[in-house]
Amino acid sequence: MVSKRIKNIVVKYLTNQATAFELDELERWIEDPRNEKIFKTYVKTNYAIEYNMRKFNSEKVKDKLLEAISNENKVIRLKKTHLIFRYAAAAAIFVVLSTTYLFKDKLFNTPNETVPTIVNTEIIDIEPGTNKAILTLGNGSQMTLEKGKSIQTPNAISNGEEITYDSDNIDAEEVVYNYLTIPRGGQFQVVLEDGTEVWLNSESKLKYPVRFKEGETRKVELIYGEAYFVVSPSTEHQGAKFKVFNNAQEVEVIGTQFNIKAYKDENSISTTLVEGKVNVSIENRKQSLVPNQQLILNTISNTTLIQDVDVYNEIAWKDGVFSFDEKSLEEIMTVLSRWYDIEVVFKTKSIEKLEFVGILRKNQSIEAILNSIKNFGGIKNYTIIGKKIILE
């Protein structure tokens, strides 16, 4: 059985993201003939890697792989020296290696070619999401925030990608709340008055005060959706704690960086800690997380599970990619439907549970993603009707 660590290293290598240390480990692992059969599961498609791959039986292919790893190792060492990566895959994404095409030619049976159907009764371009949001002010009025458009309120300024609050222009006595709503096909960032940074994913809504009262607990509410927080430490705010509420739990921040996913159409809430420490309170229960841990709350049974995770898979969305590790096609298409603002229908139900691991750039066309999955047997075909995608 292949270890989870080797799974991650193979994926990182094939997407040009492995560190020098990981490349050394991968090279040693592949030199063992017993691992040739295991490696067949982790051959990269253009943008996704399917688990059910074909036969890996070519010594020449293995030699090419080892040679490529050796060459790549030198490049990665250089990049590491110059501090290009903060996280694995945060910057250099989807550099498709020549060896990938070799694998494609040698390891895959060519599927029966069928041409995807695109019905243009409604001429609608399915575009990737972009920076956009609706800002609701304290008086109830609304403003549209979008890429390329600058706006200014009495309390904040936006450049079209983020909105920043300035405490110097805010009444220190009155507590006024703003709401930032991110539609399907959108994303946005807000810098709160205390310096806390929040990235909001598609179909999300955050409530927050335009100014926090000095010395009092700083409170915001993730009404629904997904948000990544980098919290300004309490030592800079007279010891004031920072808490994030939603309708099922309360997260008290002791450290700094964490992610909360709480979508309305999902039966679970995931809290993932990247740095520091958080306490998650659910009714009368309080549970603590340390880095690389995730708490999953089942909102139907009200039960919780804490597990270790690769945090990059959970937070990659804020850096311009979606990273999937053993996710079903159904789960992947749910994420993509929010980002591309589309409806997805599974005509063939059995393909919903097919599992994938891989990384998708958020700025590529939905057709490119679907073709990548189709070319390697994930789906037989797809049909696009307006903004509806039918998979079979």
328-391 belongs to CATH 3.90.650.10: no
Answer yes or no: are the C-beta atoms of 227 and 207 closer than 8 Å.
no
Distance set, CA 90 to CA 46, 312, 316 (Å): 18, 9, 7
Regarding beta strands 382-385 and 117-119, do their DSSP bridges make them parallel or antiparallel, or are they unpaired? parallel
The residue to which tokens 């890697």 are assigned: 49
With CA atoms as reference, report the closest residue to 220 among 187, 179, 263: 179
Predicted TM-score of the model (pTM): 0.73
**Domain coordinates in residue numbering, the chain:** 4-107, 130-315, 328-391
β-pair partners for 188: 200
Give dist(CA 150, CA 162) in Å, integer. 10
Question: Mind listing the pLDDT tens digit of every residue in the chain (392 residues)?
Answer: 567 787 777 767 665 566 766 777 877 787 777 776 566 544 433 233 333 223 333 455 455 555 555 554 443 332 222 222 233 332 222 222 222 222 233 323 334 455 665 554 455 689 999 999 999 999 999 999 999 999 999 889 999 999 999 877 666 667 899 999 999 999 999 999 999 999 999 999 999 999 999 889 999 999 999 999 999 999 999 999 999 999 889 999 987 899 999 999 999 999 999 999 999 999 889 999 999 999 999 999 999 999 999 898 899 999 888 888 778 899 999 999 999 999 999 999 999 988 877 778 888 899 988 887 887 667 889 999 999 999 99
Q: Looking at domain 130-315, which CATH architecture does it have?
A: Sandwich (2.60)
Answer yes or no: are the C-beta atoms of 113 and 376 closer than 8 Å.
no
Total length of the chain: 392
SS3 string, the chain, reads CCCHHHHHHHHHHHCCCCCHHHHHHHHHHHCCCCHHHHHHHHCCCCCCEECCCCCCCCHHHHHHHHHHHHHHHHHHHHHHHCCCCCCCCCCCCCCCCHHHHHHHHHHCCCCCCCCCEEECCCCCCCCCCEEEEEEECCCCCEEEEECCCCEECCCEEECCCEEEECHHHCCCCCCCEEEEEECCCEEEEEECCCCCEEEECCCEEEEEECCCCCCCCEEEEEEEEEEEEECCCHHHCCCCCEEEECCCCEEEECCCEEEEEECCCCCEEEEEEEECCEEEEECCEEEEECCCEEEEEECCCCEEEEEECCHHHHHHHHHCEEEEEEEEHHHHHHHHHHHHCCEEEECCHHHHHCEEEEEEECCCCHHHHHHHHHHCCCCCCEEEECCEEEEC
